[in-house]
């Protein structure tokens, strides 16, 4: 029979599931921030906002993991203008 999960593991699972609704991680101790980082990474719940929250904690272990995993901000490409040249620079429906 498998052992029951601890209260810490249950709390980390719940927090990792709703990480996008958390306003800040400032009061989280470093070892909990590292465990939460691992859980969020394992679940694939990273977004630029979540990455900013982890970087804002300024915990050395979290920052070293971000650097070790080479996690970077992704900026979507800018799509080219789709206006046809035969419509001119400012067609009447773009004014």
Q: Residue 60 half-sphere exposure, CB side, CA atoms within 13 Å?
A: 0
Q: How many CB atoms lie within 10 A of CB 57?
A: 21
3-state secondary structure of 6: coil
Q: What percent of the chain has pLDDT over 90?
A: 62
pLDDT of residue 5: 86
Q: What single string gives the DSSP state of each residue in 83-95?
A: --GGG-SS-GGG-
Could you report the per-residue pLDDT of 3-53, keeping only the tens digit for each? Answer: 888 999 999 999 999 999 999 999 999 999 999 999 999 999 988 899 999
Greatest distance between any 2 Cα atoms in the chain: 73
pTM over 0.85: no
Work out the average pLDDT over 75-79: 77
pLDDT higher than threshold 70 for residue 82: no
Please, which pLDDT band fits residue 79 given cuts at 50, 70 and 90?
A: confident
């Amino acid at each position: 029979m498998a052992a029951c999960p601890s209260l810490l593991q249950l709390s980390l699972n719940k927090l990792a599931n709703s990480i996008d609704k958390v306003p800040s991680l400032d009061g989280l101790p470093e070892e909990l921030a590292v465990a939460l980082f691992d859980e969020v990474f394992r679940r694939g719940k990273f977004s630029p906002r979540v990455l900013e929250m982890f970087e804002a904690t300024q915990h050395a272990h979290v920052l070293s993991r971000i650097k070790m995993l080479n996690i970077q901000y992704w900026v979507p490409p800018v799509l080219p203008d789709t206006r046809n040249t035969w419509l001119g620079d400012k067609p009447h429906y773009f004014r």
